[in-house]
Chains A and B, each alone.
Chain A
Amino acid sequence: MISAGNPEAPVLVRREWCKGCGICIAMCPKKVLESAPDGKALVARPDDCIKCETCEIMCPDFAIRVVAKKAAAPDQGREAVRGGR
């Protein structure tokens, strides 16, 4: 469980990779993220996170990880990987 008020959860920002472009802040549907004084992403409202992973998917710098994942979706019967030949 994510403890309330834990500033590091459920989204982690790798500050040394973040370039402060602001895409994650703008794309988050719940406004979980804010700009820190240096422009980098800051997890301001962790309790509002719905774990949609939009920030992680849209981060151009691989700097965000949603560490608390949603329950795994049931297997949708994906085609087996062919040789790709």
Chain B
Amino acid sequence: MARSIDEYLRARFMPHIWCPGCGHGIILNALLRAIARLDLPNDKVCVVSGIGCASRAPGYLDFNTLHTTHGRAIAFATGIKLANPDLHVIVVTGDGDGAAIGGNHLIHAARRNMGVTTIMFNNSIYGMTSGQYSPLTPSGRLATTAPYGNVERNFDMCELVKASGANYVARATVAHARQLSTYIERAITTSGFAFVEAVGNCPTYFGRRNKLGGPVEMVEALKKNSITAAAAAKLDPAEIRGKIIIGEFYRGDAPGYIELYDGVIERAKEAAGK
């Protein structure tokens, strides 16, 4: 590893605000290790977040950072990327921030193939506001707003983002932290829109209410309940129900928005006779 992750932390703000055993720290660790392996200088990275537990991450990171409004991180990130295409723009969002209020920004950034890497910290719950169910809370699970069980079906974010047109789509859990970091590294080096869903654990609001044990039990359960995309492809849908499918779901090379927009600039200059 070319750099130490300590070069990317604002140590004066540590320890961070997340609860003991919160998977968000493991995901952030995986992100920083990916950036360190890529040897990216602090000033070449911009991390943008919305609102929620996951969105607290940029405060601890010594990059260009922006903590924006609920669900709008990708909109801000789009502006940053267009203004400064040489930055590696990384969005840190949660399942509530990115799949609910920010869902539209997500699918349109994917459709545009905007040069932004989005890491969705999926802890299955709105943690910051004390445990309301989100669009990624699995059916049947308990939440403060679903005291008798969640009757809604949860999104498959990877299918959604893949169908929307992203160039890179992958999922891993915090129990697969090395794999997760590799996926994030590939996402950052992808031209166009890249999406990694990082499935984590919220021991405080999701775990406690659903009696899933402490942080260790939750991480072990994530490992046990995961199945690779290759293995899942050989099984009946009934056999993989409730499992977390991990792997890389798509790697494409469609031209990214920035690349296409460079063409627009060229044509406009030609039209203006310059």
Interface residues of chain A, those whose CB is within 8 Å of chain B, are 16-17, 19-23, 26-27, 57-63, 78-79, 81-85
Query: Do residues B21 and A22 form an inter-chain contact, with CB atoms below 8 A?
Result: yes
- Roughly how many angstroms separate A57 CA and B16 CA in the complex, as a whole number? 16
A59 to chain B, nearest CB (A): 7
Counting chain B CB atoms within 10 Å of each CB, which of A16, A22, A59, A81 scores highest?
Answer: A81
B177 touches A62 (CB 8 A): no
Taken together as a complex, chains A and B put the C-alpha atoms of A57 and B177 apart, in Å, by 7
| Residues in A neighbouring B203, C-beta threshold 8 A | 21
Contact with A along B198-228 (1 / 0, CB 8 A): 0000010000000000111001100000000
Chain B residues within 8 Å of A27, by CB: 219
Please list the residues of chain B having a beta carbon within 8 angstroms of any beta carbon in chain A: 5, 9, 14-16, 18-26, 29-30, 33, 37-40, 85-86, 88, 115, 117, 174, 177-178, 181, 188-191, 203, 214-216, 219-220, 256, 258-259
Could you say which of B29, B190, B220, B259 contacts A60, with CB atoms under 8 Å apart?
B29
Contact B20 A19 (CB under 8 A): yes
CB-based contact A22/B214 at 8 Å: yes
Give Cα distance in the complex from A82 to B117, angstroms: 13
Q: Which of A21, A60, A84, A85 has the most CB of B within 10 A?
A: A84
Of the candidates B174, B191, B214, B220, the one whose C-beta lies within 8 Å of that of A82 is B191
Q: Which of A16, A22, A26 contacts B15 (CB 8 A)?
A: A16
How many whole Å from A1's CB to the nearest CB in chain B? 22
Contact B117 A59 (CB under 8 A): no
CA distance A27 to B181 in the complex (A): 17
Within the complex, the shortest CB–CB distance from A81 to chain B, in Å, comes to 5
Q: A58-B219, A60-B22 given. 9 additional CB < 8 A pairs? A: A19-B21, A21-B215, A23-B219, A57-B26, A57-B181, A63-B15, A82-B189, A84-B188, A85-B258
- Kindly list chain A residues whose C-beta atoms are within 8 Å of the C-beta of B37: 78
Q: Which residues of B contact A58 (CB under 8 A)?
A: 26, 29, 174, 177, 219
Question: Which listed residue, B21, B25, B115, B219, touches A85 by the CB 8 Å rule?
Answer: B115
Bound Cα distance from A34 to B126, whole angstroms: 32
Contact indicator A19/B117 (Cβ below 8 Å):
no
Instruction: Say yes or no: A21-B20 contact (C-beta < 8 A), given A16-B15, A81-B189, A82-B191.
Output: yes
- Is A59's CB under 8 angstroms from B191's CB? no
